[in-house]
Structure 1
Amino acid sequence: MAPRPTGPTPAPDEAPSRAAASNGASSRASAAPPRPAFDHTSTHTEDLMAFLTASPTPYHAVAEAGRRLTEAGFVRVDARDAWQDGPGGRYLVRGGTLIAWYVPGGAPAHAPYRIVGAHTDSPNLRVKPRPDTGAAGWRQIAVEIYGGVPLNTWLDRDLGLAGRLTLRDGTPRLVRIDQPLLRVPQLAIHLDRDTNEGLRLDRQHHIRPLWGLGPATDGDLRRKVAAAAGLDAADVAAWDLMLHDLQPPALLGDGEQFLVGSRLDNLVSTHAGLTALLHAAADRSATDRSAPQPVQVLAAFDHEETGSTSATGASSPLLESVLRRAVRTRGGSDEDWERARAGAYCVSADMSHAVHPNYPERHDPDHLPLPNGGPAVKLNVNQRYATDSESHTVFTTACERAGVPWQSFVTNNSSSCGTSIGPLVAAQLGITTVDVGVPGLSMHSARELCGADDPHHLAAALAAFLTTH
C-alpha cells in the first residue's frame, strides 16, 4: 500500500472552500450535490484529520458539517419556519446537534428511512460559570468534568479553549483559542514518590488548570474569550466553553497503520456518517429505482457522553419531530408516517474497543477486534446495544456490498458493558437498530487511537447501508 499523506490538509484540488454555511430556511434544495471524494482510504483519513482539527467542540463540529452540507447543495432549515416539499437535501442545527436528510426525487411520503446515528460530544473539561480562581500565587480556571474522563490523560498537556458564547440578545457566537493557554500540572514525582503505585486525583482540587501568576480577578476569562471572539466582555451573557488538546491528529506506527488524535470518540463516526450521506445522495445511479427510494438521514446528537437526556440529546423528541415533519411536508398522513417508520432501519455508529495488547484478559477471549479489520458489530443480550439478528444482517450485508470487512464485539462477562444512542432510538421510535463502531484504544482519553483504514471502512459501509431497500 502506498504511504498515506501525513498532514491534515487536503490536496488543492480536493480542498473544500471556506464559504460560510447558509442560515436561511429556503425550502428548495439541490437534487444533485457534487460527489465527495472519499473513494480512497488515504483521502478519507486525511479528510477526517481535517474534520477533527476543525471540530474542538460539538458546536464547531456541527458548524463544519453544516458548511460541508451547504457546499454540497443541502439547505439549512429552521424548526420555527414552515418546511416545504421537494426532493434534495436539508439539515437542521440545534446547539451541538445536527440532523440532515436527503429526499430522492419521486420518493413517496411513506418512503422508509435509513438513519445513521452518531454523537458530536466527547469527555473533556468544561469551564464553570465563575471561572476565575487560584491558589498560592497562581491564577487558575475552575472547570467541571464532562462525561467519563480518564483524568490522568489531561495532565501536562498544552490546552486551548473553545465553545459557544451566548450574547445578551440571545445570539450564539463560536469562539476558539488555539494557543497554549491552559495546563493541568502533575505533581512532581519528588513530592509524590508513590505516584507510580497508583495516582490519585481529587476531582475538585487537582484538575484546575493554571494560566497565569498573580491574584485571581473576576472577569479575566470573560474578557479573554470575548476579545478572541471580537466582542466586548459586557456583550457575553453566558457560555458553553471547554478545553481541548492542541496536539493535532497524526498517523502513527510502522507504515502509518494507526490514526491518533482527540475526539475520535465519536467524531470518527460523525464524519463517516456525513461523508456517507453526501456520497449516497450524489450517487443516485446505483439505486434500484424499481423499489421505493429510502430517505437517507444523519442524526449527530450532543450529550451522549452524559446520558443523552437533554433537549438536543438522543432521548429528546428532536429526531422524531424531524422525521414526522419530513413526511408531512411531502403531503403525507399519519398512516404514511407509520409506514415510513415501520420500514426504517438505523445504524448507531459509536467507537468500539479493540483488544488491548497489555490487558487482553479484560476482553472476551472469543471476540477480539483489531484495528483495520473493519467496523465491529456490537452485541449485548441485555440491550445495552440494540443489535439483533435482523439488524446485524442488514449491516453486514451492507458491508459485503461495499467490500468492507467487519468484526464482532461482545463484552467480557466479568465487565460492565457500555452503551450508545442505539437503544434509545430503538426504544423511542420502534426502529430496528444495529450498534457498530470502529475499534480503538484509549477510549475517552485526551488522545485516542484507531486503525487508519477503519474510518474509510465505516464510511463505505454506511454509504451502502443508506441505499439499502
Structure 2
Amino acid sequence: MTREDFNDGLLGFLDASPTPFHAVANVTGMLENAGFTYLDERSEWTLEAGGRYYTTRNASSVIAFTYTGESDYAMFGAHTDSPNLKLKPSPVLKGSGTVRLGVEPYGGLLMNPWFDRDLGIAGRVAYRTKTGELKEANIDTGDAVAVIPSLAIHLDREANQSRSVNPQTDLPALIGCDESFDFEAWVGKQLEAIGVADFERLLSHELSLYDTQKASYVGVAKEFIASARLDNLLSCYVALLTICSVGNDRPYLMILSDHEEVGSESTSGAAGPFLENTLQRITGSYEAFVQLCQRSLMVSCDNAHAQHPNYAHKHDPEHAPYINKGLVLKLNANQRYASNSRTVSRFVLASERAGHPLQEFVTRSDMGCGSTIGPITATRLGIETLDVGLPTYAMHSIRELAGTKDAFELYEMLLAL
C-alpha cells in the first residue's frame, strides 16, 4: 500500500463517519471484508486458532483480534467519539419567525468555529414499528440542513475583542422558517430515505450536528489533511488498517472505544469492562487472563499537540513536535499519559525496524495536561501501556489539521511491533 492510497482511503473514511455509530458500522464492514468473523457478546464464543474475530458494544465501540493461542498480544486502542454539538431530546425551538434545534456540547469542543458552517445531522434513532417492534437505525442527512449564524459585528462592536459563547442561548441551530415543523415526522422521512418503511413512532435519539465540508488535502504541496473528527478517527483508521494487514499467526488486538471525550465512564468506554470481558473470554481462565495482560503491550493512539507556529510559546521548546516530522511519544510525570521507560523503549525499537523517526511531547510545566484511554486501560487491566500521538493543529475544533506523512508512518510502526 502506498501512502497516497492510504490517505485517500482515510479521507473517505472521515467523510463517511460523522458519528461513532457510523464509524463503527464502517469499521465492521471493512473487518468483514478482511475475513473477520462477528462474535455476539450475548452468545457463547468458540474460537479457533488462526481465526480473525470482532465484537461490538453499543454499536459505537468495537474490538477486533487475531486468535493464535499465544498470550503476548500487541494491542492498540483509539476512540470513536469527537467533540460535537448533540441535539437535546426535545430539540425544537420556535420563535422570531424561525425554527431552531437546541443543542448540548459534547466534550471539550472549541465552540466559536461552529458558527456560519454548513451543518448536517447524523446519529442513531430508536423507533417503534407499525407492528410494535423496537428497532434502531443510523441516519445521516448528508446535505447541510442547519446553520448557527453569527451575530453581525454592527450589533456587537466588541466581538473581536471579547465575544464569548453561551451554549444555551448562542448555539441553537437554525433549520428553517416554517413553524409547523414536526421533528418526529422529519425523522420518519430520514428513515424512509434509507429504506425504512415500517416507522410508526420515534422513541429516542442520539443525533449530532456535523460539518458537511469534506475532508481534503491542504497546502501548496498538499502536505496537510484538513477534516472534522481527526481526533480521533485518524487513529481509528490507522488501527483498522493495521489489524486488517497482520497475518493470522500474529497475536494482535484493536479496541476502538466510545466516550473518551467525556471521561470514558460508560459500558462502551475505556473505563468500562468491554476489553476486560473480551480478554477473559479469549483466555478462558483467570490465570491465563492475568498472564496475557502481563505479557502484552497496549499502544494508546490519539492526537498530539503539534507546535503551533503562531503560538510557539504554548509549548515546551524541547518537547514540541512538528507535523510531518514523526510520530509523537506522549509523556507526563504525573501519569496523565501511561508511557514509561519500558514501554517507550519497546516502541523505539519498533520505529527503528520501520525506519521512521519519533518525537516527544511533554506539556509545559506551568500548564495542565490532558489525558487519554492509556492510563485508564493501564489502571483497569494492568497492561503495560504507551501513549503515542499524531501531530495535530486546532484539536477539538470543528475542522482540524494533520500531516499527510504521520498516520501512514504510525501504521507501519504498529505492524513492526
TM normalised by structure 1 equals: 0.85
In 2: Cα distance, 1:228 partner to 1:188 partner:
36
What's 2:207 paired with? 241
Alignment map for 1:261-340 (pairs within 5 Å): 261-281=227-247, 295-328=251-284, 333-340=285-292
The residue that corresponds to 1:19 in the other structure is none
* Equivalent position amino acid for 1:159 in 2: L
Q: Deviations over 1:223-266 (max 9, x none)?
A: 44444444465343111111111110111112111111010000
Report the equivalent of 2:381: 429
**Shift in Å at residue 208 of structure 1?**
0.4
Partner residue, 2:187? 222
User: Which runs of structure 2 are paired with 1:10-25 in the superposition (5 Å)?
Assistant: none
2:176 counterpart letter in structure 1: G
Task: Tell me the SS of whatever aligns to 1:171.
Answer: strand
Find 1:112's aligned residue among 72, 76, 82: 72
1:81 aligns with: 43
Of 34, 40, 54 in structure 2, the residue corresponding to residue 91 of structure 1 is 54
Map Cα deviations across residues 200-219 of structure 1 (whole Å, 9 max, x no partner).
Answer: 11110100000100326453
Aligned to 2:329: 377
Please give the root-mean-square deviation of Cα atoms over the aligned residues, in Å: 1.4
The answer as to whether partners of 1:140 and 1:216 remain within 8 angstroms in 2 is no
AA aligned opposite 1:311: T
Match of 1:134 in 2: 94
Q: Is the 8 A contact 2:301 2:389 kept in 1?
A: yes
Q: Please give the alpha-carbon distance, in whole angstroms, between the structure 1 residues aligned to 2:194 and 2:93.
A: 22
Amino acid in the other structure paired with 1:434? L
Aligned match of 1:62 in 2, 24, 27?
24
Aligned residue in 2 for 1:102 = 66
Q: Equivalents in 1 of 2:308, 2:82: separation in Å? A: 21
User: Taking every aligned residue pair, what percent have the same amino acid on both sides?
Assistant: 39
Give the partner amino acid of 2:26.
E
Give the count of matched residue pairs.
409
Which residue matches 1:12?
none
User: Within 1, Cα distance between the matches of 2:332 and 2:97?
Assistant: 51
**How far does the alpha carbon of each residue in 1:158-196 deviate from its partner, in whole angstroms, 9 at most, with x for none?**
011111112233332111111110001101111111111
> What amino acid does structure 1 have at the position aligned with 2:319?
H
Deviations 1:307-344 (A, max 9, x none): 0001100000110000110112xxxx322222111101
- The separation in 2 between residues aligned to 1:187 and 1:139, in whole angstroms, is 17
Q: Which segment is superposed worse, 210-219 or 227-236?
A: 227-236
Amino acid of the residue matched to residue 356 of structure 1?
H
How far did 1:456 drift?
0.3
Query: 1:132/1:371 Cα in 2 relative to 1: closer, same or farther (>3 Å)?
Result: same
Q: Give the aligned partner of residue 370 of structure 2.
A: 418
Give the letter aligned to residue 99 of structure 1.
I
Aligned equivalents of 1:225, 1:233: Cα separation in 2? 10
Secondary structure at 2:99 match in 1: strand
Contact map agreement 2:73 2:252 (CA 8 A) in 1: yes
SS of match in other structure, 2:54: strand
Alignment partner for residue 212 of structure 1, among 163, 166, 176? 176
Q: Which runs of 5+ in 1 are unaligned?
A: 1-38, 285-292
Supply the distance in 2 between the matched residues of 1:216 and 1:308 (Cα, whole angstroms).
39
State the distance in 2 between where 1:381 and 1:278 align: 34
How far apart in 2 are the matches of 1:318 and 1:407?
Answer: 31
SS of 2:310's equivalent? coil
Distance 2:277 2:340 in 1: 26
Q: Deviations over 1:136-168 (max 9, x none)?
A: 111001111100111111110001111111223
The superposition leaves residues 259-292 of structure 1 with CA deviations (integer Å, 9 ceiling, x where unpaired) of 110100000100001111111236x5xxxxxxxx
